[in-house]
Amino acid sequence: MGIIATSRLKSPWIMHFDNSSCNGCDIEVLACLTPLYDVERFGIVNMGNPKHADVLVVTGPVNRRTARVLKNLYEQIPGPKMVIAVGTCGTSGGVFHNCYNVLGGVDKVIPVDVYVPGCAARPEAIIDGVVLALQKLAKLQGVAL
Amino acid sequence: MAPRTITPFGPQHPVLPEPIQLKLELEDERVVGVVPAIGYGHRGIEKACELNEYPKNIYLCERICGICSAIHGMTYCDVVEKLWPLEIPPRASYLRTIWAEMARTHSHLLWLGLLADAFGFESMFMQYWRIREKVLDILEITTGHRVTQSVSIVGGVRRDIDDDQKKHCIEVLKDVRKEAEALNNVLVNDYTVKARTVGKGVLSYDQAIALGLCGPHLRASGVKEDCRTQGYWAYGDLSYEPIVATGGDSFSRAAVRVGELYQAIDLQLEAFGKLPEGELAAKPKGNPPANEAVSRVEQPRGEVFYYAKGNGTRNLERLRVRTPTYANIPSLLVMLPGCELADVPIIVLSIDPCISCTER
């Protein structure tokens, strides 16, 4: 369809937000950008600004303090947007399920499109998660990926 | 006097992947005051450690921090072993040392890359992380996972390193050293890098001691203090000498970490050479007795302190963790005022902040 819809799929800009994760998934998200995995060859660029982002990559369980920040960031991202919850604790709370400050997975606060399991999730799995999100986005927009 | 403005740095910020907020009080471009706000990463791990049975806490403690995860798990096992006290077999203590130094190698490569990124040297960041992948590969080969190794159990270690793996690790480590040398040469000698790091965030010897700092941050101010000199695990058998720099600025902190990177590789090679044969783990008898124990271990970021109190049941009565970044954050209040806004990321990064450790 339009050039915007196509470019969104060919060069999705992601924003990474760390809830209260252990860092394991965060460095794996960063590792995706570095030479061995190099997602930039697919046009995927890591952004610091939510208003520039198409895909929100969230790691770690939501806690009482980051819930508000996460919601705020999600609302700032222009639609159509995709949310990827990375790691076991991002999907369900995982090993932190019985910690008193943890609310649970990312889906307790914002709608999640793709869940990437793993503790810590491997870069291959994260890239796969982004591809799944793009397929969903393509379907949503009615364009071929 | 120029009007003062307060600029929030974080919690979501491109320089640091982790949530920490610094409220910077600015006079034009100059920082005059700073108020750190932490607590975004708090999960309540210490309390959860009282709810879980003691062998399960290893997995929780390893997820205090994903970068030094192996050492967190080992320190937890170490402190619980001290409750009995339980002696671990020599091969297990050597293997712990090897994995701890492997974790230090990857952590320092990670930090050097992030430092390069903080002053906009993107290609150097990529190069450091390319080398780091090799270290992660040998970690995966020997432990089964890239990031969260989970090799330590109470009484010893869970996995062995066989001769083929050992040979491969030694080859890779030598290769990593050679490649890191070429890159570090740029970091230590390049004019542009020096212009961004020399004299930024200076801490004197006395200030570093008064603030109670730890780790490479402390050693960069000329203080020869390192937990590994206690000789826990196999460090007593290995030739180990703390690496110290005297500048006290961001450049010295990078220089200390560069030195420690080589040292960590040398320690691994030495430990591989001396690796004794024998059992992997001693079996603990019954539950941890009603006793108290502390353990101090040197992490890539500094000293980590564990306190455990047992009560004779499967659960611990109390577990307390004090992590290195918690000790190092107060130094920001001394280093940041007076610097320019553009230097804030480098100075903040120079303490190697690990927020998930700090807040648990």
User: What is the predicted ipTM?
Assistant: 0.84
pLDDT of residue A21 exceeding 70:
yes
Going by the DSSP 8-state scheme, the letter that residue B224 receives in this structure is -
Confirm if B12 and A73 have CB atoms less than 8 A apart: yes
pLDDT of residue A114: 92
Pick from A61, A98, A101: CB nearest B51:
A98
pLDDT tens digits, residue range B103-130?
Answer: 999 999 988 988 888 888 888 888 999 8
Please report, for the domain that includes residue B351, its CATH number. Answer: 1.10.645.10
Q: Which of A23, A60, A73 sits opposite B67 (nearest CB)?
A: A23
Nearest to B149 by CA among B159, B164, B162: B159
* Contact: A101, B44; criterion CB under 8 Å: yes
Give yes or no for residue B12 having a pLDDT over 70.
no
d(CA B292, CA B131): 42
SS3 annotation, B185-220 = HHHHHCHHHHHHHCCCCCCCHHHHHHCCCCCHHHHC
The secondary structure of B245-287 as a DSSP string is -S--SHHHHHHHHHHHHHHHHHHHHHHHHH---S-SBPPPPSS
B35-82 residue pLDDT tens: 888 777 788 888 888 888 888 888 888 888 888 888 898 999 989 888
Q: How many domains does chain B have?
A: 1
Q: Which range of residues forms the domain containing residue B318? A: 4-359
Phi, psi at A61, each rounded to 5°: -75, 155
Cross-chain residue pair A100–B17, CB shorter than 8 Å? no
Partner-chain residue, chosen from B66, B125, B129, that has the shortest CB–CB distance to A120: B66
For chain A, how long is the longest CA-to-CA vector?
48
Q: In the predicted model, what is the mean pLDDT of residues B291-300?
A: 89
* Domain annotation for chain A: domains and CATH numbers: 3-141 (3.40.50.12280)
Which residues face B37 on adjacent strands? B21
Q: Do the Cβ atoms of A65 and B39 come within 8 Å?
A: yes
B30-42 CB burial, b ≥16 within 10 A, e <16: ebeebebebbbbb
Identity (one letter) of the amino acid at B19?
Answer: P
The answer to whether residue A24 scores a pLDDT higher than 70 is yes
**Cβ distance A8 to A137 under 8 Å?**
yes
Mean pLDDT score across all residues of chain A: 85
Residue % of chain B over a pLDDT of 90: 10
Residue B196's pLDDT is what? Answer: 85
Q: Residue B50 belongs to what H/E stretch?
A: helix B45-51
For A83-104, how does the pLDDT look when each residue is reduced to its tens digit (9 = 90+)?
999 988 888 888 888 888 888 8
Check whether B14 has a pLDDT greater than 80.
Answer: no
Confidence bin at A1 (pLDDT 50/70/90): low
Residue of A20, A37, A86 to mutate, testing the B interface (most B Cβ within 10 Å of its Cβ): A20
Nearest CA in chain A to B58: A95
Look up the pTM and report it.
0.89
Percentage of chain A beyond pLDDT 70 is 99
Q: Which residues of B touch A69 (CB under 8 A)?
A: 11-12, 19, 40
Q: Are B162 and A135 in contact (CB under 8 A)?
A: no
Mean pLDDT, chain B, rounded, equals 86
pLDDT at residue B1, as a whole number:
64
pLDDT in tens, B232-288: 888 888 888 888 888 888 888 888 999 999 999 999 999 998 888 888 888 888 888
Cβ(A96)–Cβ(A57) below 8 Å: no
User: Is A101–B67 a contact, with Cβ atoms under 8 angstroms apart?
Assistant: no
Nearest Cα neighbor of A88 from A108, A59, A63 is: A59
Q: What is the pLDDT of residue A85?
A: 92
Partner B contacted by A103 (CB < 8 A): no
Residue-level pLDDT at B15 = 65
| Averaged pLDDT for residues A112-141 | 87
Chain A residue with minimum CA distance to B353:
A23
In whole angstroms, give the CA distance from residue B215 to residue B73. Answer: 19
Cβ neighbours of B41 in A, within 8 Å: 18, 20-21, 60, 63, 66
pLDDT band at B85 (very low <50, low <70, confident <90, very high): confident
Interface of A with B in 25-54 (CB under 8 A): 25-31, 34-36, 48, 50
Structural contact between residues B197 and B249, judged by C-beta atoms closer than 8 angstroms = yes
Chain A contact probe: residue of B18, B58, B147, B360 with most A CBs at under 10 A? B147
Give the torsion sign (CA, A23, A27, A28, A32).
positive
Indicate yes or no: CB of B45 within 8 angstroms of CB of A96: yes
Count A/B contacts: CB-CB distance under 8 Å.
123
pLDDT band at residue B360 using 50, 70 and 90 as cut-offs: confident
Q: Do B17 and A23 touch (CB under 8 A)?
A: yes
Q: What was the pLDDT predicted at B122?
A: 85
How far A23 CA lies from chain B's nearest CA (Å)? 5
